[in-house]
Chain A
């Protein structure tokens, strides 16, 4: 089976740095995704990791350790507009001809002035 764990809610101050953790147990591994979802809107792709290490993209970075089943999303220079839910999703082993990603419940990030 697949299990994705991430904190339910986090708060941070504008201009600060926040790290959102995600741990997973999956049968097989074919990549980990982070999505941002504002209330009432569609998830928007942020990052993709398939190899260990850090992927940096502007203010956002994502880290992966496959041996530990662990990832984090790092947000720097927080802005008010970063208040959103952040979804961790893992694509497990190919089953029945398809790769079905499993999503965590999301971490609701609240950025305050």
Chain B
């Protein structure tokens, strides 16, 4: 997986709590994509970020979801007031430029009780 790190690997939250998912891209990569995957389904694009910029957030719900990729540190996907429907695996992928192949992290499996 070319060194993409995600943590935590598993996250359990109760309805109404906040979930913070972290993604550290491959060293030197400045592009990060976030995806959501439900069981037996494909990866659904959520948001594309470059350092300090959101390039495309067309796949991310307008409410409760936000993402950032600061100049220093990992990219963060934040889900406020989680609901059971947010339970899924969340993957990030990093790449050197927008034309390159994406390398995926191991994912964070979020379970909302």
Contact = CB atoms under 8 A, between A and B. Distances in A.
Interface residues of B, number: 25
A16 interface: no
Interface residues of A: mostly helix, strand, loop or mixed? strand
A98 interface: yes
A42 B41 CA distance: 14
Contacts of A30: 99
Contacts of A87: 42-43
Given A43-B91, A104-B42, A105-B40, A99 B106 contact: no
Contact of B48 (A44, A100, A104): A100
Contacts of B43: 43, 87, 89, 103
Interface in A26-82: 30, 33, 35, 41-45, 48
Interface of B: 1, 4, 33, 35, 40-45, 48, 55-56, 58-59, 91, 98-99, 101-107
